Amino acid sequence: MIHPLLSRIALFAFLFLMSCGDSPQSVAKNFTENLAKGRISEAKKYATEPTGEMLDFASKIGAMPVNPGFTFVYVEKNVDGDKATVVYRESVDGPDERINLVRIDGEWKVHMQTPK
């Protein structure tokens, strides 16, 4: 029988590793939180190259609003091979927002499409 303390430590380690990994939800969270705080360079670390270029352009023309009170509330994720969609809210009772990600060389990156 496993000692209760050992099982708690194992559970904590599992939860810690799950929260720190390169999962679609952690990438989406890091991207949106940095973007909301105006940290474009940091947000670009979690984005595809074309998305980073869009962020640079939007930043240059002053189209990047800053929201220091932003809170990422995870709702759900859908993973289909190397593509994922994360649904989140900016507050507990806010509307659902979707963010698309792609896996490139084993790492999840936010990928925003340019409007056509």
The one-digit pLDDT tens for each residue of the chain (116 residues) are 555 544 455 444 444 444 445 899 999 999 999 999 999 999 999 999 999 999 999 999 988 889 988 999 999 999 999 999 999 999 999 999 999 999 999 999 999 987 66
Check residue 111 and report its DSSP letter. -
**Torsion angle (degrees, nearest 10) of CA 114, 27, 78, 104:** 70
Question: What are the residue boundaries of the structural domains of the chain, listed by start?
Answer: 22-110
For residue 26, count CB atoms less than 10 angstroms from its CB and return exposed for 0-12, middle for 13-18, buried for 19 or more: middle
Q: Please give the backbone phi and psi of residue 77, each rounded to the nearest 5 degrees, phi first.
A: -135, 155
If you classify domain 22-110 with CATH, what class do you get? alpha beta
Q: Tell if the pTM clears 0.85, that is, is over it.
A: no
How many Cα atoms sit within 13 Å of 105 on the Cβ side? 1
